[in-house]
Structure 1
């Protein structure tokens, strides 16, 4: 029996003598002793005192509130009970407050350093930190859409030591770790995320594509239903991301080359493209679901979009895009109309 008790004490020693357990034990002992001492010394001059009165006085004195409804009148009550209760009560209260502050500071530090597991749902995960200005620009664009204005955004990066203050102010969460490892993505709650953006670590280094391909394979393996958008440096590597089942691949170098030529041949195209691709100002480009019974000609859908103050550009179906199609082309429910407007329509119904 003694060996069993000894074993239990050894196993429970850490919890028994932890900071919180020690503080609670000291507080409880001081609370009971001060109440008992107050009742012992003061019951002679105030026979109406009860245990509830003594515990109330003890609580008020330890927290230094001091309402004055009860107070020691005897010398023993003042110097042997009252004074120690106030002094030790202040010390214990300060000790407890310092532990609370330490817990809060440590929790914030873990958040900033990305070592704490988050608990998010329907959030957007941004993989790879590519500089503060670019990161803030991407976050601003995401939040610029009314459908994503209140959504949570989480950054996953393996090299960033702590989250910049500017991103903290934008309520960005952070998980530090290798994004190609399943354990890191589990900490980022990938399974419950709404979307993932995999950014190139270096926009001028095609080797970034190889790193992102590893990340994309892990993401698609763990959460194939989560929409994924990958930034590709070398256009020749885009087919590899498609084979990895990524939903969308964006080649910045290819787009920039096309935009340069278009701006040369048709001055002003850059302003038009910048405006419709931005969620921060001007008109925007949307893909909105079509709601109709049976098949309808594209002209009917386009006319309905115009009534909604939208400029129809075409429609998409099962990953295929039809820009400025023939007006007799059939459009059915499940297709998405491509349009330009001031606000995102929930649907185009006819």
Structure 2
């Protein structure tokens, strides 16, 4: 019997053997001291309590052996062997924690959560995006993918790092993009040629789309495009949205030069630090026309920006509002919650 147990233990993982051995040692030691001193340890639980407080070096002293045999067993078996095994077990626990921490920081652990944001490539712009997402969503997780950095660059409890090639399916699966809210692909820093930069981004976007088709599940992708002339290629690749920071910045500067102060309006629209933010809602049943939606939202303290990405709301005031439209509004977060409840 004992020989078979030893044979199985030798085939097991060393760490598992240590913990199983510690458990067996504690249970047998409790029974042994109860047999040696039945008058002191009247129940098995009291014996188990004494063994546990001894091997963990807590030593409350509320109960202890009084006979020579019991004290000898305590000194030789429980104190020397038991405390030694406990020390080894605690050491393994610390090793496991340190190993887990190192793997997490170096991006070697897969993310198992859902409804998270995936950001590909760590750049100055993606760093600002991460910070803005954290300001907007207190309970959302963010997964950052990058192959050029060896350790998590943005330390936050809601930011998970995955190290690997973004175009590699294994890396995308480690980030669990299948269950993500959206995937944001940023153009790498330090690439002076726009065609080369967008070519790299297109490769990643295509890999995401191929994976989406493979699992037969839609994955919403937002891509930073360096040059607008390359957008057609991204449209062909199935990308949902495009951001062109260079052209957008140039146009905003031009608008500000003509209509002074307009840049502050855009800054407030694109930031969560000004009290109001942009939210997406669906029409309520009582909103029959564009005008109904605009007036009702105004009464609730919200401003309707667009319907299905179209800004011509005033021109369509009397037209029928499609029931499945996507409405963009600007309001405070508490007003947004009230609108959701009333839907």
Structure 2: runs of 5 or more not aligned: none
Cα deviation, residue 54, structure 1: 4.7
Q: How does the TM-score come out when normalised to structure 2?
A: 0.83
Q: Does 1:168 align with 2:155?
A: yes
Q: Give 1:177's aligned residue.
A: 164
Q: Give 1:137's aligned residue.
A: 128
Q: Does 1:260 align with 2:253?
A: yes
State the Cα deviation string for residues 297-345 of structure 1 (Å, max 9, x = none).
Answer: 32222211211222334422xx655354243333221123343323363
Asked if the contact 1:314–1:325 (Cα under 8 Å) also holds between the matched residues in 2, the reply is no
Q: Does 1:39 align with 2:30?
A: no
Cα deviation, residue 171, structure 1: 2.1
Out of 276, 281, 293, the position equivalent to 1:288 is: 281
Cα deviation, residue 247, structure 1: 0.8
User: Counterparts of 2:340 and 2:325 in 1: how far apart (Å)?
Assistant: 11
User: Counterparts of 1:26 and 1:69 in 2: how far apart (Å)?
Assistant: 23
Note closer, same or farther for the CA distance 1:39–1:253 as it changes in structure 2 (3 Å cut).
same
The DSSP-based 3-state class of the residue aligned with 1:284 is strand
The structure with the largest strand share of the pair is 1
Structure 1: runs of 5 or more not aligned: none
Cα deviation, residue 49, structure 1: 5.5
User: Counterparts of 2:41 and 2:320 in 1: how far apart (Å)?
Assistant: 92
Number of corresponding residues: 328
Q: Does 1:328 align with 2:328?
A: no
Once the two structures are superposed, the pairs formed by residues 83-94 of structure 1 within 5 Å of their partners are 83-84=75-76, 85-94=78-87
Note closer, same or farther for the CA distance 1:101–1:330 as it changes in structure 2 (3 Å cut).
same
Out of 306, 312, 315, the position equivalent to 2:298 is: 306
Q: RMSD of aligned C-alpha atoms?
A: 3.0
Out of 145, 148, 163, the position equivalent to 1:159 is: 148
Note closer, same or farther for the CA distance 1:241–1:347 as it changes in structure 2 (3 Å cut).
farther
Q: Give 2:180's aligned residue.
A: 193
User: Counterparts of 2:111 and 2:341 in 1: how far apart (Å)?
Assistant: 37
Q: How does the TM-score come out when normalised to structure 1?
A: 0.82
User: Counterparts of 1:282 and 1:275 in 2: how far apart (Å)?
Assistant: 9
Cα deviation, residue 283, structure 1: 3.6
User: Counterparts of 1:38 and 1:276 in 2: how far apart (Å)?
Assistant: 73
